[in-house]
Amino acid sequence: MNNPWHLYLMAAMYVFAGLMHFAKPNMYMRIMPRYLPNHKGLVYLSGIAEIALGIGLCFTATKTISIYGIIAMLAVFLLVHFYMLSGKKASAGIPRWILVLRIPLQFALMYWAYYYL
């Protein structure tokens, strides 16, 4: 495990974010696009994915697949970010300027993961 400290920071960030899906599932269900089915199941599934991918970053054997998984997961999460821009109720009370800034942040997070390939 000779990875740079910032890779472990990224791993910890995803594990923490994934755990929050179980600690505060209602927060995540509020922002789920209406057209997606089984919001609770998808919130828990995305939490499991974030935890597994975060842990996977820490091991040489799973690092590459975890990086690709994180990039794919962040691409899928763009659905939520764009949905939240669709209206006042969808925004969950978050100011529009923050919602707009989250879009390039997703791409920055994708690049951060890609950096370790």
SS3 94: coil
In the predicted model, is pLDDT for residue 1 greater than 80?
Answer: no
pLDDT tens-digit series, residues 54-91: 999 999 999 999 999 999 999 999 999 999 999 998 99
pLDDT tens-digit series, residues 87-105: 998 999 999 999 999 999 9
Q: Check if the beta carbon of residue 55 is closer than 8 Å to that of residue 1.
A: no
The domain segmentation of the chain, as residue ranges, is: 5-114
For the question of whether the overall pTM of this predicted structure is more than 0.85, the answer is yes
**From CA 38, how far away is CA 42, in angstroms rounded?**
6
Sign of the torsion angle spanned by Cα atoms 75, 6, 22, 44: positive
**From CA 33, how far away is CA 15, in angstroms rounded?**
23
The total of other beta-carbon atoms located within 10 Å of residue 111's CB is 10
